Chain A
């Protein structure tokens, strides 16, 4: 009996410790972003995040066992630490692929619950569809303070805003981080874009395009 319990405990421990945890980590200057903390973007520009929420959907991995879907829909919310972990797997992850945002089918499927419940503040009622990526904050340029509101959504072509992401992994680390380098993104868009985008359209698609190269796979050091 004691041997059986011991074996069971060993198996359980092995299963837990052999799992790879994949987390989403928004970064600013290489450090995890905290809400309402002021970050320096350029010499004269500072930025404070008040909201950061976005959808990740159709998450799949490629492993020694082949291709597999590991999660259908995930809502990352910087206010909710429980949302930082995207998934766990006992597979050895060769690559991760997902849609940043929601797919078009989700946007035409009527009322949905869980992470897709409109009560989460990620749904446009007047122009049906999900806000795929929401960032709100305050930008201070010298003495001037500006509200920044990027509500990036829309599923209809030519202004569809979800973006397919593919990240290769060669690390053996048991904690992989999907890093979103928001400082680099904000630098790319700070001079040329509006501070407020609240509707589907060309500007939203450009901002989402700029996000793609700033999403990279890191590992726990």
Chain B
């Protein structure tokens, strides 16, 4: 009799355990590349799960988020161009509306403490609210997005799988989208392979020269291995007379922040043109030329490093560009895991 009771309890326990396993999302550990700093995002507060990531990916590629269901996050953040757009200088929204800034790349965001060119967004989980609600982007409301997802055939089940119930809320939508965004890690460029001393991988002579020049002239802001220091700076770019973008000042109202913009990562920069917050440079050679010849040393709030003229010969500029091309990570740009879900 005792044995029967014991066996019954065992069977019951296993049934409970297997039920729990079936209902729980699959935790995915966030892999920090070798010798990289710890991420700034606290994954304990929004643990990555396979189901959360997949839901986030589906939302990222779904035009249902926009008011007229014509554009998705991917419309401005295309994977093969480093999750940014390349065909225009500022982002485009529904009805052909134009924004005022170049869409930023979505690369290694787990190491970022602020978002947008002016750093106005202080947490990745609230970033997605902007494009969805901005009149020049998706021009929708969260109420409408939630209604649409609730009415859709498959979303309630996906929310159930990711969060344990079919309830669809702002919080869950944003947490899923941020799980996808946080997973966009690019760490397998030629530069990375050389740094990891992988067999058979080496810089060319020109790339070596470029790296040396880069470390002398650029690394103060574009710090390795993330190729950004996550701060704001004015690089001396004069204000566009039409856009009149004051940058970080618009958030802090501190005159010292006037014309400061977030320092972008240079990873995959070969594919992320046009460059700068307003997309004014279409070619990397234009950017290098600007740093060498175009900076007005008296411009307001110019970064201290740039207050001493940067002198780069034409060959130096070419060498730096050759090095920057080693930051291209095709495994990232063409990874099916991040592509449109089929």
Among candidates B120, B142, B252, residue contacting A118 with C-beta atoms closer than 8 Å = B142
CA separation between A129 and B124, bound complex, in Å?
Answer: 13
A52 vs chain B, min Cβ distance (A): 21
Q: Is B253's CB under 8 angstroms from A159's CB? A: yes
B14 vs chain A, min Cβ distance (A): 35
Q: Is A117's CB under 8 angstroms from B126's CB? A: no
CA separation between A87 and B120, bound complex, in Å?
Answer: 35
A1 lies within 8 A of chain B by Cβ: no
**Segment of B59-67, B169-177, B261-269 engaged in the interface with chain A:** B169-177
> Which range holds the interface residue count of chain A?
20 to 34
CA separation between A113 and B45, bound complex, in Å?
Answer: 14
Point out the residues of chain A lying under 8 angstroms from B125, CB to CB: 110-111
Point out the residues of chain A lying under 8 angstroms from B287, CB to CB: none
A145 lies within 8 A of chain B by Cβ: no
**Segment of A57-65, A119-127, A180-188, A207-215 engaged in the interface with chain B:** A119-127
A108 lies within 8 A of chain B by Cβ: yes
Point out the residues of chain B lying under 8 angstroms from A113, CB to CB: 169-171
Q: What sequence of 0s and 1s flags, for each residue 109-147 of chain A, a beta carbon within 8 Å of any chain B beta carbon?
A: 111110001110001011111000000000000000000
CA separation between A117 and B129, bound complex, in Å?
Answer: 11
Among candidates B45, B116, B134, B169, residue contacting A117 with C-beta atoms closer than 8 Å = B169
Q: What sequence of 0s and 1s flags, for each residue 248-288 of chain B, a beta carbon within 8 Å of any chain A beta carbon?
A: 00011100000000000000000000000000000000000
Q: Is A125's CB under 8 angstroms from B169's CB? A: no
B87 lies within 8 A of chain A by Cβ: no
Known: A125-B130, A128-B121, A128-B126. A119 touches B174 (CB 8 A): no
Nearest opposing residue in chain B for A200, CB measure: B253
Q: What sequence of 0s and 1s flags, for each residue 189-221 of chain A, a beta carbon within 8 Å of any chain B beta carbon?
A: 000000000001110000000000000000000
8 A Cβ contacts from B130-149 to A: 130, 133-134, 142-143, 146
CA separation between A110 and B129, bound complex, in Å?
Answer: 11
B69 lies within 8 A of chain A by Cβ: no
Q: Is A110's CB under 8 angstroms from B251's CB? A: no
B173 vs chain A, min Cβ distance (A): 9
CA separation between A13 and B321, bound complex, in Å?
Answer: 80
Q: Is A118's CB under 8 angstroms from B46's CB? A: no
CA separation between A113 and B168, bound complex, in Å?
Answer: 12
Known: A117-B169, A118-B129. A128 touches B123 (CB 8 A): yes
A68 lies within 8 A of chain B by Cβ: no
A177 vs chain B, min Cβ distance (A): 33
B122 lies within 8 A of chain A by Cβ: yes
A16 lies within 8 A of chain B by Cβ: no
Known: A117-B169, A119-B142, A201-B253. A111 touches B174 (CB 8 A): yes
Q: What sequence of 0s and 1s flags, for each residue 77-105 of chain A, a beta carbon within 8 Å of any chain B beta carbon?
A: 00000000000000000000000000000
CA separation between A110 and B170, bound complex, in Å?
Answer: 12
A156 lies within 8 A of chain B by Cβ: yes
CA separation between A144 and B288, bound complex, in Å?
Answer: 56
Known: A111-B126, A119-B142. A125 touches B251 (CB 8 A): no
Among candidates A108, A119, A129, A200, residue contacting B170 with C-beta atoms closer than 8 Å = A119
Point out the residues of chain A lying under 8 angstroms from B178, CB to CB: 110-111
Known: A117-B169, A127-B251. A110 touches B126 (CB 8 A): yes
A173 lies within 8 A of chain B by Cβ: no
CA separation between A5 and B143, bound complex, in Å?
Answer: 48
B128 vs chain A, min Cβ distance (A): 9
CA separation between A159 and B90, bound complex, in Å?
Answer: 31
Point out the residues of chain A lying under 8 angstroms from B142, CB to CB: 118-119
CA separation between A4 and B146, bound complex, in Å?
Answer: 50
CA separation between A200 and B253, bound complex, in Å?
Answer: 9
Point out the residues of chain A lying under 8 angstroms from B143, CB to CB: 119
A107 lies within 8 A of chain B by Cβ: yes
Q: Is A126's CB under 8 angstroms from B120's CB? A: yes
Among candidates B120, B130, B133, B170, residue contacting A111 with C-beta atoms closer than 8 Å = B170
Nearest opposing residue in chain B for A113, CB measure: B171
For A111, A113, A118, A200, which residue has the most chain B Cβ atoms within 10 angstroms? A111
Known: A125-B130, A126-B120. A110 touches B252 (CB 8 A): no
B60 vs chain A, min Cβ distance (A): 16
For B46, B133, B170, which residue has the most chain A Cβ atoms within 10 angstroms? B170
CA separation between A126 and B101, bound complex, in Å?
Answer: 13
B99 vs chain A, min Cβ distance (A): 12
Known: A123-B129, A127-B251, A156-B252. A117 touches B171 (CB 8 A): yes
Interface of B toward A, CB cutoff 8 Å: 45-46, 116, 120-126, 129-130, 133-134, 142-143, 146, 169-171, 174-175, 178, 251-253
- New contact pairs (4) apart from A111-B126, A111-B171, A117-B170, CB-CB < 8 Å: A110-B125, A111-B170, A117-B171, A159-B253
Name 21 A/B residue pairs within 8 A (Cβ), A-sorted.
Answer: A107-B122, A108-B122, A110-B45, A110-B174, A111-B125, A111-B126, A111-B174, A113-B170, A113-B171, A118-B129, A119-B146, A123-B126, A125-B133, A126-B116, A126-B120, A126-B130, A127-B120, A128-B120, A128-B122, A159-B253, A202-B253
